[in-house]
Amino acid sequence: MTQPDRILSDPCGTIVDMVARVEPDLTVEQIRDAVKQAAPSRTARRSLAKTLTADPALLTSRRPEGSRSVERLIHKLLAHGARQVAVPLCAGCGKPEPLPQRRGKLRVCAYCDATARAQQQPCADCGLPRVIRYTGRNGEGLCSSCQPKDNIDWAQRICDHIATVDPTVPAETVRQIITTITRGRPHYVRRLAWDLEDRPGMLTGNAGHGTPKVIALIDALRDAGAQAIVRPPCPHCGRTSVTLRNTLGDVRVCPTCYNTRKAVNCSRCKRRSPVARRSPDGQSICNHCDRTDPINHEECSGCGRLRPIIRRNSPTGPLCDTCYRPPVAICLLCGHARPCFGVAGGMPRCENCTRLREPCLDCGRTMPVKARTANGPLCETCFKKNPVSFKACTRCGTVERLRHHGLCHRCACNEELTALLAGPDGAVAAPLMQLHSTLMASNHVRVLDWLQKRNTAVSVLREIATAECSLDHESLDARTDKAVEHLRAILVAAGALPRRDEQLVAAERWIAAAVAAIADLSDRHTIQAFATWTHLTRLRKYSRRKPITAGQAVSARRSVKAAVGFLAWLRAEGLNLEAVGQRDLDRWLEGGPTTRQYARDLVLWAVRTKRATNISIPARLKNSPTQALDEDERREIAHRLLGDDQLDARDRVAGLLSLLYAQPFSVIIRLTADHVVVREKSVLLRLGKEPLELSPELGNLIQQIAADRRRDGQIGQIDAHWLFPGIRPGQHLSHITLAARLKRLGIRSLPSRTAAIRDLTAEVPAAVVNRLLGLSTSTATSWAKRTAKTSYAAEIARRSDSDK
């Protein structure tokens, strides 16, 4: 590497080597610390390295030459115990004073600089060659003896001027704003008052010619609620939503117009852009080319790679754009709460709104730029396909599209999970370690996306890790967010929480809420007793054997709801259960929807417990047999399910089980891998007491979904037990979801099952149907008789037609 190249790539090392030759007693760490204090930025260190490389004797010769950073470096080295370096002397007085100013190529102290300036510009009032300390009303320079002297309260003059424009702002607020802007200095207050008086209309939109303090005063007044005060529009673009921070000629303009006017063609990319720096030969370089130049890359404290640095003052050190995580704020452009840039400046913009839109190098579409290669920009879609997006993980060496901090998805997932689940002592507790292992066995991309959302579930995990929340079902029950229910399923699947019947718990909570909402105390006690002894006792007993179904829970809720409605009607009619008669009950039934029939459970319970007498609600009549699916349509759908590989395999299996074997959706969704029996030349499915041999096509589909039981991208699922896994770990698909999916294929449960049962019972004895398909013997027998009668009637009809 040549010396000029090293000055750019490693300016600190260049300076350390030169200082070490002059001060051999100082350690490298001491010299490096002095360099960083004297030249905090990389640009300053490059300038210092360039100066010392050109003239190393500046460290010891005491000549007042070079940049100010040379002087600062010498002072820092002396503070660390240096003996050979010497402080430069002022070119005017020869004293070892700080040298902030220049006189030609030499540096001078502040006194010598002020004396020289006084000789060139004497005081406009007394005419003596004195140091100019103040500026008069017309811009003339005044010495300290001739400063404007008056007894005017200039702050009050400013308050009066503002009051004429907007009297709604309290004078105390205005005075506080003036003190903040002028830092309490009288000549600043005076100068601000002069600007407002000499240029009318400053506060009503004509501040484009004003000073920075006038612009700051207007912004502060607007923020304080002054509606009549008008922010000045940019004289070039007319926008009022931006602060006029820059000057072009004699007017103040917004940064965009300033940069547009000052833009030149970059010597590298040829795009018109503001100059970020110039090359050694004086050529202009834009900000993008400056940042992407490898000579400017530094080691990122997050990923350890040499990358363009966009954040230097982070707690961990400089960060590249991949490792830096901007704070969450409301984006100024789209209005969404997202990680935003520009938060400190009061103009937050999210990543999507910040990205430039340019023609993609590969597809040619004008899209937001995801990455730039040596040949041009790439959109997100093309970047993912380009080999340049694959890099080696800095931790495990895996080559893939890295997540962040130079880590692959697996290493990044492990790091973020450990940071989230670690307790105050930095260790992950044993139950949470089970969760850690489960999530690490899941799709790492999905887990990282889930963690990045920072939803309620992630917050709860953080509270559990720090012992702010207990790891039990009761603590999670206190949270009503659906994200917490999903987290509960993950914790159960990981073994961090014991399993429980969630349908039963939901039914208990619903009933408790329904009872608590009843205003009348007597009715509340009645419903509580009815719900407990009629439904909850039965559901709890059933739940000891296996979890209750969603249908059972819905049935209980429906019954309790109807009972609550009946008692409320009785209360409104001035009646109660003891006094109600059959005629009153019939009147209630006829005066509302058919769902009032569900109050039958309450009536039966009330009569049985002698709370009511001589009343009843007849049992709901079973509907007539559902119209069976047309045979031709049934065969067409079955052929499509068997042969169309574009359809989801689980939808094909569920549809065929309903169409061919009359299986209800509630049974299909509960099938597990244990129901599948694979033999040497056949596949069997255990639907009844004995396994049923399947056709080769359906057997292959069953084997396919049995081999891949994990739901794609599901978080927290290690080995799904169900053939039809649901969205939550450890839970099967709901029958409502399955019904909606099969409906799109033209399959409805009752018509499909009716057609299948009709055909099966016509060809197979009822006992065989019971053993192989799990249908009750009574149901199979009933359908067999019904099918036989239908066949007999059809045969009689055919005979009659032939006799005619």
Q: 274 lies in a domain?
A: no
Phi and psi at residue 168, to the nearest 5°:
-80, -20
pTM more than 0.85: no
Rounded Cα distance between 621 and 595, Å, is 13
Rounded Cα distance between 440 and 710, Å, is 14
The verdict on 554 and 669 lying in the same domain is no
- In angstroms, what CA-CA distances link 763 with 114, 639, 766, 791? 115, 21, 9, 12
Residue 62: what pLDDT? 93
Residue 787: what pLDDT? 61
Residue 261: what pLDDT? 84
Q: 726 lies in a domain?
A: yes
Residue 99: what pLDDT? 92
Q: 696 lies in a domain?
A: yes
**Contact status, residue 220 vs residue 181, Cβ threshold 8 Å:** yes
Domain boundary among 608, 623, 655: 608
- In angstroms, what CA-CA distances link 440 with 75, 237, 323, 400? 54, 53, 21, 18
The verdict on 586 and 718 lying in the same domain is no
Percentage with pLDDT > 90 across the chain: 22
**Contact status, residue 58 vs residue 72, Cβ threshold 8 Å:** no
Phi and psi at residue 330, to the nearest 5°:
-85, 115
The verdict on 663 and 738 lying in the same domain is yes
Closest CA to 71 of 84, 62, 83: 62
**Contact status, residue 397 vs residue 407, Cβ threshold 8 Å:** no
The verdict on 636 and 770 lying in the same domain is yes
The enclosing domain of 781 has a CATH number of 1.10.443.10
The verdict on 65 and 130 lying in the same domain is no
Residue 115: what pLDDT? 82
The verdict on 641 and 776 lying in the same domain is yes
The verdict on 29 and 138 lying in the same domain is no
The verdict on 647 and 545 lying in the same domain is no
Residue 563: what pLDDT? 94
The verdict on 786 and 666 lying in the same domain is yes
- What pLDDT, in 10s, does the model give residues 27-71? 999 999 999 999 988 888 988 999 999 999 999 999 999 889 999
Rounded Cα distance between 780 and 773, Å, is 10
The domain of 122 spans 117-146
Residue 32: what pLDDT? 92
Residue 31: what pLDDT? 93
Residue 511: what pLDDT? 94
Question: SS3 string of 591-605?
Answer: CCCHHHHHHHHHHHH
Rounded Cα distance between 177 and 760, Å, is 89
Q: 208 lies in a domain?
A: no
Q: 600 lies in a domain?
A: yes
- Our count of domains for the chain comes to 5
Torsion of CA 416, 421, 427, 431, to 10 degrees: -130
Q: 257 lies in a domain?
A: no
> What averages of pLDDT result for each successive group of 10 residues across the chain (804 residues)?
69 92 92 92 88 92 91 93 93 92 90 81 78 75 75 86 88 89 85 84 81 87 86 80 79 85 83 82 85 82 81 80 82 84 77 81 88 82 87 87 81 88 85 88 85 78 87 86 83 87 91 93 93 94 89 92 94 90 92 91 93 87 63 87 88 89 87 87 87 88 78 56 79 84 87 83 81 78 64 45 48
The verdict on 137 and 104 lying in the same domain is no
Sign of the torsion formed by the C-alpha atoms of 544, 549, 552 and 556: positive
The verdict on 544 and 440 lying in the same domain is no
The verdict on 85 and 132 lying in the same domain is no
Residue 562: what pLDDT? 94
Domain boundary among 494, 521, 556: 494
Closest CA to 42 of 14, 77, 66, 65: 14
Q: 141 lies in a domain?
A: yes
Domain boundary among 494, 528, 549: 494
- In angstroms, what CA-CA distances link 537 with 17, 487, 572? 85, 29, 30
